[in-house]
Amino acid sequence: MPYETVFAVALFAFVGSVSPGPSNFMLLASGTTFGLWRTVPQILGITTGFSTVLVAVGFGLGALITAWPPIGLALKIAGGAYLLYLAWRIGTSRTISDGHTDAGRPLTLLESAAFQWVNPKAWIAAMTAMAAYAKADNPFTSTLLITVVIAIVNLPSVAVWAGFGVVLRQFLTQPSRLKWFNIAMALLLIATLWPLLR
């Protein structure tokens, strides 16, 4: 893969990974509620799960979804339902974990990875990346290279959102501030459903 293409893929990955979306809003809320270390599995799950979506799209699943719309509809329904559930969980949270008391728990690595399979932003990004950068004459190698470049850029880019949450922890120790922050995060998460409704 030419260096120019690697740079273009990395830039695409950075913009897509650091921009607002369902996973990043959940990381912001998790960093605030649970701190950075307890949120690390969720961060790793996002990159792992998104990488598997990229590979699946690169190896033909994206074309299958385009050719058979009921699969895309099922993913939209499952993704929408799960986003609403996560929004409810975030919006009703009223405590910041001190690591000793039970204030719920962040998403696990597996839960976070599985969420990428119903995350509309992940699918749009994966299909766009493969359509723009994969080479038809060598789909296997180009899919793997694109996935590796995106994963390397994605991991620190999404981790920044958890870091923002950690920075906000002190400000949100006041219960009323935390309540309204969590409600705002839940509403932003619900707003990410907009692409599913079009």
* pLDDT per residue as tens digits for the range 87-136: 887 788 777 665 555 557 889 999 999 999 988 888 888 988 888 888 87
Q: pLDDT grade, residue 44 (50/70/90)? A: very high
pLDDT tens digit string along 90-100? 788 777 665 55
Terminal Cα-to-Cα distance of the chain (whole angstroms)? 35
Mapping DSSP to helix (H, G, I), strand (E, B) and coil, where does residue 107 land?
coil
What pLDDT, on a 0 to 100 scale, did the predictor assign at position 135? 82
Q: What are the angstrom distances between the C-alpha of 68 and each of 11, 64, 84, 142?
A: 31, 6, 26, 25
Average pLDDT over residues 50-71: 83
What pLDDT, on a 0 to 100 scale, did the predictor assign at position 41? 97
What pLDDT, on a 0 to 100 scale, did the predictor assign at position 93? 74
What pLDDT, on a 0 to 100 scale, did the predictor assign at position 170? 80
> Is the pLDDT confidence value at 76 over 60?
yes
Is the separation of the CB atoms in 17 and 158 below 8 Å? Answer: yes
Domain spans in the chain, listed from the N-terminal domain onward: 41-197
* Residue bearing the bigger pLDDT, 59 or 196: 59
Sign of the CA dihedral with 10 first, then 54, 124, and 49 last: negative
> Is the pLDDT confidence value at 71 over 80?
no
pLDDT tens digit string along 155-189? 999 999 999 999 988 887 788 887 888 788 888 87
CA angle, 161 as apex, 13 and 167 as ends, to 5°?
A: 150
d(CA 74, CA 67): 14
Q: pLDDT grade, residue 147 (50/70/90)? A: very high
CA angle, 47 as apex, 27 and 123 as ends, to 5°?
A: 95
What pLDDT, on a 0 to 100 scale, did the predictor assign at position 45? 97
Q: What are the angstrom distances between the C-alpha of 158 and each of 84, 133, 151, 153, 190?
A: 21, 22, 11, 9, 19
